[in-house]
């Protein structure tokens, strides 16, 4: 079953980059070219298996996406093999690392490198004149390349499909070939916060703009039998509930009040300030879009932490534990799928008969 997004262009090829695309005062390009379609991965590309093939879709969600690591750990510990991975934004970041051959414990070790806020700020490279975004993203790219180098999609341990959004047309684009790091960066360039990423002459922004939970690509292009969807995004109601309680500086100890006030007045990422408004607005639209993708999955895992902040990467242990609990709850359903004992899909809608509920 296809979604409304599936008629859009996918799998861009890579035209040569023009000289002026490298010049910083042109903002990395601004090409008006649209990437042409390329050959899709055939369903027969999977080797003959004595079990159903299984794909996993990892959603966007900022720091909340670290919960994907907990899900991965539980799958590995229970011998559940994943045949194809798709990811958007933070899901693309984690998915690319996993597809390269790292296991869940190694992914946790990488996330543990950000222990304090100063570790997080070390990845921020602010733009002096933020005309198109506040962060360049080069330090994040450097961090990715420390692990992935210049690896290409066909060199990965597992098939990987990364979702991004073409800036000029806002088309949904699936990247499945070429350089992995540039594809991941294209998927996580949050509009208004991170400068749009130029990949082979075409500008991209966060894939969550059009497809925050890329389920359909695993059926249409990878050709897997079943799909597990991991959605870390809260529902609209959960999101509103988490924002009802605002920090009250007057209720804090006297010595903390000046710092509380300063954070509110100076920190652009503080609750209700510019970056928070940009990110919250983007997440609000994603929360609505993701509802249409969840019904396409055979198993839905929701490692949702209502109190977590989208930029709190220092709380990695908390997120990973939430992911582990949600995955453990879903294990019986997943094991039924791969043993071919799961409920069949309805012939008309392709909508699964069972669904894993929230794990808090």
The residues that are catalytic are 89, 206
- Contacting residues for 29 by C-beta, under 8 A, at least 6 apart: 17, 18, 20, 21, 198, 201, 202, 203
* Inter-axis angle of helices 138-148 and 180-187, nearest 10: 140
| Residue 69 Cα distances to 170, 176, 237, 313, 321, angstroms | 29, 22, 25, 13, 9
What is the CA 73 to chain-centroid distance, rounded? Answer: 17
Task: Work out whether strand 160-166 and strand 172-175 pair parallel, antiparallel, or are unpaired.
Answer: antiparallel
| Residue 284 Cα distances to 65, 171, 278, 289, 335, angstroms | 16, 19, 10, 9, 33
In the chain the first and final C-alpha atoms are separated, in Å, by 30
Contact 173, 35 (CB under 8 A): yes
Counting other chains too, the contacts that 105-114 makes at CB distance below 8 Å and 24 or more residues apart are 105/73, 107/69, 107/72, 108/69, 108/73, 108/316, 108/320, 110/147, 111/66, 111/69, 111/313, 111/316, 111/320, 112/316, 114/313, 114/314, 114/316
Q: What are the backbone angles phi and psi of residue 348, rounded to the nearest 5°?
A: -90, -45
**Helix and strand numbers, DSSP H then E, in the chain:** 11, 9
Contact 165, 204 (CB under 8 A): yes
Q: What are the backbone angles phi and psi of residue 316, rounded to the nearest 5°?
A: -60, -40
- Cα torsion for 318, 319, 325, 326, to the nearest 10°? 160
Residue 272, judged by CB atoms within 10 A of its CB (0-12, 13-18, 19+), counts as: exposed
């Amino acid at each position: 079953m296809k979604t409304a997004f599936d008629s859009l262009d996918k799998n861009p090829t890579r035209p040569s980059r023009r000289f002026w695309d490298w010049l910083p005062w042109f903002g990395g390009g601004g090409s008006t070219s649209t990437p042409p379609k390329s050959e899709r991965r055939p369903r027969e590309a999977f080797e003959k298996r004595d079990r159903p093939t299984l794909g996993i879709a990892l959603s966007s969600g900022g720091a909340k996406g670290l919960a994907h690591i907990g899900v991965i750990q539980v799958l590995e510990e229970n011998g559940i093999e994943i045949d194809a991975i798709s990811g958007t934004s933070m899901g693309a970041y984690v998915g690319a690392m996993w597809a390269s051959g790292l296991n869940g414990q190694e992914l946790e070790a990488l996330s543990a490198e950000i222990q304090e806020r100063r570790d997080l700020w070390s990845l921020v490279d602010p733009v002096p004149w933020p005309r198109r975004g506040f962060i360049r993203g080069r330090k994040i790219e450097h961090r990715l390349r420390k692990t992935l180098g210049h690896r290409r999609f066909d060199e990965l341990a597992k098939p990987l499909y990364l979702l991004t959004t073409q800036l000029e047309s806002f088309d949904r684009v699936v990247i499945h070939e070429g350089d992995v790091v540039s594809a991941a960066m294209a998927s996580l360039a949050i509009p208004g916060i991170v400068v749009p990423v130029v990949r082979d002459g075409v500008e991209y922004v966060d894939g969550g703009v059009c497809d925050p939970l890329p389920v359909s690509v695993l059926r249409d292009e990878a050709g897997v039998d079943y799909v597990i969807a991991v959605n870390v995004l809260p529902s609209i109601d959960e999101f509103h509930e988490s924002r009802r309680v605002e920090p009250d500086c007057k209720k804090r100890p006297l010595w903390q009040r000046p710092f509380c006030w300063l954070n509110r007045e100076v920190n652009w990422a503080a609750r209700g300030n510019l970056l928070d408004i940009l990110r919250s607005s983007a997440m609000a639209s994603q929360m609505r879009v993701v509802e249409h993708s969840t019904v396409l999955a055979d198993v839905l895992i929701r490692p949702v932490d209502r109190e977590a902040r989208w930029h709190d990467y220092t709380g990695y242990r908390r997120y990973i534990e939430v992911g582990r609990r949600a995955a453990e709850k879903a294990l019986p359903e997943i094991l039924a799928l791969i043993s071919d004992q799961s409920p069949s899909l309805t012939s008309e809608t392709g909508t699964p008969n069972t669904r894993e509920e929230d794990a808090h």
